[in-house]
Amino acid sequence: MAKVYLGLGSNLGDKIGYIEKAIALLENSDGIRNLRASSLYKTEPIGNVDQDWFVNAVVEIETDLNPMQLLECCQGIETKLGRKRIEKWGPRTLDIDVLLYGNAEIKSAEIEIPHPRMVERAFVLRPLAELNPCIEISGTPIQVLLSSTDNQQVEKIPSRLN
């Protein structure tokens, strides 16, 4: 079983609802166990900033799925919850990214682990640090990485999950 961290985000429709439904679908997926979810966070968009704010979270899971099987599972959940891939970094009902898969380092056309931009994004680092404040990413403590994202607005919000 590998310990894996997934990043979830939504900025269309019932954002909190999409995140909560995705977490429930992940919990009930074959090959996924012991899911723990961070709090939910309201975050400003990065990249294409001309869109609504996001709701983001990180989940920790244990899985016996390999990285590609896990990616397919996550993309299936995105599709089930109405994800349409129209515009890169554009608005979406749901996005699920594989952030970390144990200590694996993978770079292929389909997937890159650790997620290549996670160390620059407070909306990933803050909920990840909530779940595991001692984690290191490519040898760098998460608290060091977080300190370089102080200029990004990330606000914890209430949800029915916590």
Model-level pTM greater than 0.85? yes
Asked if residue 37 lies in contact with residue 156, where contact means CB atoms within 8 angstroms, the answer is: no
* Structural domain count of the chain: 1
User: For residue 16, what is the domain's CATH number?
Assistant: 3.30.70.560
pLDDT at 151: 85
Give 88: exposed, middle or buried? Use CB within 10 Å, 0-12, 13-18, 19+.
Answer: exposed
Residue 96 lies in a domain: yes
Q: If you average pLDDT over residues 148-156, what whole number do you get?
A: 89
Q: What span, in angstroms and rounded, lies between the C-alpha atoms of 117 and 119?
A: 6
Q: Is the pLDDT of residue 89 over 70?
A: no
* Residue-wise pLDDT tens digits, 43-88: 887 766 667 889 999 999 999 999 999 999 999 999 998 866 665 5
Give the domain extent around 124: 2-157
Active site positions, annotated: 83, 92, 95, 97
Q: Is the pLDDT of residue 142 over 90?
A: yes
More confident of the two residues 85 and 131: 131
Q: Is the pLDDT of residue 135 over 60?
A: yes
Residue 162 lies in a domain: no
